[in-house]
Amino acid sequence: MLLTGATGFIGTALIPVLLAKGFEVHAVARKAFSPPPGNIITHSVDLMDLAARRALVKSVAPPYCLHLAWNAIPGRYLTTRENLLWTAATLGLYHDFVTCGGRRFLGVGSCAEYDWSYDGLLKEADTPYRPSTLYGSAKEASHRLLQESALLDGVSFAWAHLFFTYGPGESPGRLVSDIARGCLNGEVVPTSLGTQIRDYMYVKDVANALTCLLDGQVEGTVNVASGIARPVSEVILAVSEAAGRPDLVELGGRESPVEEPQSLVADVNRLRNEVGYEPSYTLIEGVCETVNWWRSQIRND
């Protein structure tokens, strides 16, 4: 199978799971990298470069593709026009994959594709797609075009909507990473009041769920999320307590981003009943592993 974005936050967590599942992994990233041991071949390829991408797909001729690569730089990814290029790379990758005999393509989208004014759990078949950011629109356009093409091409296609993923290796500038680092470094961390309700999932659960989805036959869109509605303040508290410094958190010391919806929580019936996946980490377990990872990073600095 072909894995793009292999060195990213989710890609890093995915590789051991894919290997354990018995996949031969062709892992792609822009820059050269050292893979973990196992049945894995790395490729250093810029997926935006049509000739290089096509040569890669032709040489590997993977039956499966899990496509993660995208721009997700905190603070920029919602509005940068670079995501037009990632949309282009996604469409091109799918095209080349099918042309080279690929059988099942799993793309990774976002809860940002849904209509955020929808009242209730966000559900694949029911909630309208009405993105309110360029990022959401780019993901939604990719997902729709690939889904329609896959129907014509006779290719198995699935698309995961990720919600809020946290864990080791997350970029700084995100909620969990910033609180973990701040508390471990002994710095005051101003946060929003944390009254928004969000659906958080530990990155290892995300990796397990994506592998399960890839390895199965479920087609179409699937929420890859916990289904648990949590006030963000609960996550803030859990992280700061795992870091041993809840006193450093200044709840309400920072304004909530404007135009953010009050609640973003997934209906996970498809993931649970059709894909057959249940998360195995509690919030406390996930947060403790994450904080321990940050601790090891800070020690290594």
Residue for token pair 């354990």: 20
Q: Mark 255-279 as b/e (b = at least 16 C-beta within 10 Å).
A: eeeeeebebbbbbbebbeeebebeb
Please, are residues 79 and 112 in contact by the beta-carbon 8 Å criterion?
A: no
Least CB distance to a copy of itself at residue 94 (A): 7
Least CB distance to a copy of itself at residue 113 (A): 13
Binding part of the chain for a copy of itself, among 24-32, 86-94, 160-168, 229-237 by CB under 8 A, reads 86-94
Would you count residue 50 as binding a copy of itself (CB under 8 A)?
yes
Using the rule CB under 8 A, which residue among 22, 31, 37, 81 binds a copy of itself?
81
Cβ neighbours of residue 2 under 8 Å, at least 6 residues apart? Answer: 26, 28, 56, 57, 60, 62, 64, 65, 66, 97
DSSP 46-100: -TT-HHHHHHHHHHH--SEEEE------TTTTTT-THHHHHHHHHHHHHHHHHHT
146 to 9, 18, 188, 273: CA distances (angstroms): 24, 23, 45, 24
Least CB distance to a copy of itself at residue 69 (A): 14
Choice between 50 and 288, CB closer to a copy of itself: 50
Using the rule CB under 8 A, which residue among 12, 87, 110, 221 binds a copy of itself?
87
Size of the site for a copy of itself (CB under 8 A): 28
Would you count residue 193 as binding a copy of itself (CB under 8 A)?
no
Residue for token pair 């057959």: 276
Would you count residue 246 as binding a copy of itself (CB under 8 A)?
no
Least CB distance to a copy of itself at residue 46 (A): 9
- List the x/- string, 136-155, binding to a copy of itself by CB under 8 A: -xx--x--xxx-xx--xx--
- The residues of the shown chain that bind a copy of itself, judged by CB under 8 A, are 48-51, 79, 81-82, 84-85, 87-89, 91-92, 94-95, 98, 134, 137-138, 141, 144-146, 148-149, 152-153
